[in-house]
């Protein structure tokens, strides 16, 4: 009985130690997260432009697709740009409205050039190659396969995207279907290989926009008045009640306010 009790006590002590270490590691990770004010300051410094120039270019590029935006939208954009090593002034990453409603959640979109930069800038990236099917559909390969190699992995990551599943109706799919299918394979493979979350490729973002817009139209046509929907909508509206018009003056005011907070 005594031996069993000691064994249980040791197991309990081990679990406590593991929990304590995990807690310390999490706390250390949180301490490494940069402050938002510093990120804004570094974003201005990194672009090599004065503050007014940074604001002008940001409103003409990464924020130009938004009717309104909030301070949190700006934070998310600049934090993601810094962590992924992307340039929002060159549209490598940008923000778009997630649906027809101006108050719908903002999506962060990474262009094809941005996805390529993420891969090539990662020190673990060790090349990639593509393979396409011999079988065709309307003279287009039925699938394209992307394989990405990592220096710190013995087994490469391979993802196959099928034309029948991802083919869209946008102009790019009509004029360059093979290129679009190759892009879809590369993006999905990169996402799995490097654990990239919270960002979308342009084609994905357009589909999400269309889906949410059609859902919103259906809800309004059906005149949905259920209490749960109304409550969720009012909560969401309150969260973005302080949305700001996407203009140079508004952005300048927001950034200067953030600078004052950090002082």
Who wins on pLDDT, 75 or 154?
154
Are residues 189 and 68 part of one domain?
no
Task: Calculate mean pLDDT across residues 120-138.
Answer: 95
Which 3-state string (H, E, C) describes 225-256?
CCHHHHHHHHHHHHHCCCCEECCHHHHHHHHH
Are residues 66 and 188 part of one domain?
no
* pLDDT in the model for residue 85: 93
- Predicted TM-score (pTM) of this structure: 0.73
Asked if residue 30 is part of any domain, the answer here is no
What's the domain range around 64? 56-109+201-231+244-262
* pLDDT in the model for residue 241: 44
Asked if residue 29 is part of any domain, the answer here is no
Are residues 221 and 98 part of one domain?
yes
List the beta bridge partners of residue 95.
Answer: 108
Condensed to tens digits (0 to 9), the pLDDT of residues 97-114 reads 887 777 778 999 999 999
103 token code pair: 């108050």
Task: Calculate mean pLDDT across residues 177-189.
Answer: 97
Count of structural domains, the chain: 2
* pLDDT in the model for residue 115: 97
Asked if residue 122 is part of any domain, the answer here is yes
Per-range mean pLDDT, top range of 55-64, 188-197, 203-212, 227-236? 188-197
Asked if residue 60 is part of any domain, the answer here is yes
Are residues 187 and 211 part of one domain?
no
Are residues 181 and 81 part of one domain?
no
- Locate the DSSP E strands across the chain: 68-69, 93-97, 106-110, 125-132, 136-137, 140-141, 143-150, 157-162, 244-245
**Whether the Cβ atoms of residue 115 and residue 157 lie closer than 8 Å to each other:** no
């Amino acid at each position: 009985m005594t031996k069993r009790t000691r064994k249980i006590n040791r197991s309990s002590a081990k679990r406590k130690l593991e929990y304590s270490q995990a807690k310390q590691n999490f706390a250390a990770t949180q301490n490494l997260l940069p402050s938002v004010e510093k990120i804004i300051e570094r974003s201005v410094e990194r672009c090599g432009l004065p503050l007014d120039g940074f604001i002008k270019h940001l409103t003409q590029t990464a924020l130009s697709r938004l009717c309104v935006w909030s301070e949190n939208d700006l934070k998310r954009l600049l934090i993601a740009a810094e962590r992924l090593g992307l340039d929002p002034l060159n549209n490598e990453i940008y923000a778009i409205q997630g649906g027809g409603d101006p108050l719908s959640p903002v999506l962060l979109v990474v262009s094809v050039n941005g996805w390529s930069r993420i891969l090539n800038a990662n020190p673990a990236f060790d090349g990639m190659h593509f393979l396409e099917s011999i079988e065709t559909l309307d003279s287009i390969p039925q699938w394209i396969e992307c394989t990405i190699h990592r220096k710190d992995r013995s087994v490469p990551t391979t993802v196959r995207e099928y034309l029948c599943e991802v083919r869209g109706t946008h102009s790019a799919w009509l004029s360059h279907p093979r290129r679009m299918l190759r892009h879809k394979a590369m993006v999905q493979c990169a996402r799995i290989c490097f654990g990239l979350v919270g960002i979308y490729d342009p084609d994905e973002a357009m589909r999400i926009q269309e889906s949410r817009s059609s859902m919103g139209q259906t809800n309004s046509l059906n005149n949905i008045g259920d209490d749960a929907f109304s409550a969720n909508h009012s909560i969401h509206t309150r969260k973005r009640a302080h949305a700001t018009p996407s203009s140079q003056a508004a952005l300048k005011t927001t950034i200067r306010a953030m600078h004052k907070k950090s002082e």
